Amino acid sequence: MWTTAMRSSFGRSGSATSLCRSSGSLVGNTTGRVNSRAVRGATWFMVRPPGRYVAGMDCYTCRTEARFDTLPPRERVDADVHWRVVHAFDSRLPGWLVLVPRRHVTSIAELTDAEAASLGTWQVRLSRALTAVTGCVKTYVMQYAEQAGFAHVHFHVVPRLADIPPDHRGPRAFAYLHAPPDERVPEATMDALAIELRGHLATESTP
């Protein structure tokens, strides 16, 4: 779990660098690099659904899914045959997760009964994992899929830390998203968080 000092270092600005470089066994204390032994010791859920990606499709999620076997930890925090969990690539906030169907779906109404049945369980399990790993007081769960190239259904599962300023709470939490490259959570930190979350999910019983 993040220490009080780590959480407080996040501050109002939303800068993740100092917080991310303070993590324990998975990230170096000063380098922000992933602990290679922890990476090698992690086990990954490699279930892959039948081919569902159409070449040339203007869908970021499907293009990423087509590379599942070679994705870094941040792009496959966990997965089953229906859903894949990723860390938002353009977030200032460490732990901003996105839950995506592994086939192309643009409306919740298009989900199969099997996909729908596991959706709620995933949201609860991810919320528990984020609480354990980040120390957040609760999570936000949101789904819009309105941005061009991102019409693929996706659920944001966002940790709400105790010290998030009031003007960044609720829907205003999206101020942490779409950050310029130099303000985003470092990739090494996203990978480290992914590994820690994955470890928690692997040991947790299903609700």
Asked, for residue 48, whether it belongs to a domain, the answer is: no
Percent of the chain with pLDDT over 90: 66
Strands (E), 152-194: 155-160
Q: Give the C-alpha separation, 135 to 181, whole Å.
A: 26
Global pTM reads 0.74
Whole domain around residue 62: which residue ranges? 4-42+57-203
Asked, for residue 27, whether it belongs to a domain, the answer is: yes
Asked, for residue 52, whether it belongs to a domain, the answer is: no
Asked, for residue 50, whether it belongs to a domain, the answer is: no
Asked, for residue 30, whether it belongs to a domain, the answer is: yes
Distances (CA, A) of 70 to 3, 15, 130: 32, 29, 25
Is the pLDDT at 132 greater than 50? The verdict is yes
Mean local confidence (pLDDT), 67-87: 96
Q: What is the pLDDT of residues 13-47, one digit of tens each?
A: 443 333 333 333 333 333 344 443 443 344 334 44
Asked, for residue 47, whether it belongs to a domain, the answer is: no
Dihedral angle over CA of 106, 176, 65, 53, nearest 10? 30
Distances (CA, A) of 126 to 61, 64, 91, 102, 158: 19, 21, 17, 17, 9
Q: What is the mean pLDDT of the chain?
A: 79
Asked, for residue 16, whether it belongs to a domain, the answer is: yes
Is the pLDDT at 82 greater than 50? The verdict is yes
Angle at alpha carbon of residue 85, lines to 184 and 100, rounded to 5°: 100
Mean local confidence (pLDDT), 98-107: 94
**Greater model confidence, 149 or 155:** 155
Mean local confidence (pLDDT), 155-161: 98
Give me the number of domains the chain comprises.
1
Asked, for residue 117, whether it belongs to a domain, the answer is: yes
**CATH number where 134 lies:** 3.30.428.10
Tell me, what DSSP letter sits at residue 89? T
